[in-house]
Amino acid sequence: MIRAYSSVMNPIVAAVLTLALVACGEPPPPPKPAAPAPAPQAEAPKAPEAPKAAEAPKPDANKELAGKVKRALESEAKIQGAGIDVTATDGKVTLWGTTATAAERNRAAQVAAKVEGVTSVDNQLKVVKGS
Tell me the pLDDT tens digit for each residue of 94-131: 999 999 999 999 999 999 999 999 999 999 999 998 76
Structural domains counted in the chain: 1
Best CA proximity match to 100, nearest among 121, 130, 59? 130
**Domain assignment present for 112:** yes
Question: How far is the C-alpha of 6 from the C-alpha of 116, rounded, in Å?
Answer: 103
Query: Could you count the other beta carbons within 10 Å of the beta carbon of residue 98?
Result: 16
Instruction: Classify residue 14: in a domain, yes or no.
Output: no
pTM over 0.75: no
Q: Which amino acid is at 33?
A: P
**Is residue 83 included in any domain, yes or no?**
yes
The answer on pLDDT for 1 being more than 60 is: no
Distance from the Cα of residue 17 to its chain's centroid: 64
**Residue 75 falls inside a structural domain:** yes
Q: Is residue 23 part of a domain?
A: no
Q: Which domain covers residue 90, as residue numbers?
A: 61-127
Tens digits of residue pLDDT in 8-32:
777 787 777 776 666 666 666 677 7
Is 1 inside any structural domain?
A: no
> Does a structural domain hold residue 19?
no
Which residues make Cβ contacts (< 8 Å) with residue 89, sequence separation at least 6?
Answer: 62
* Residue 78 resides in a domain: yes
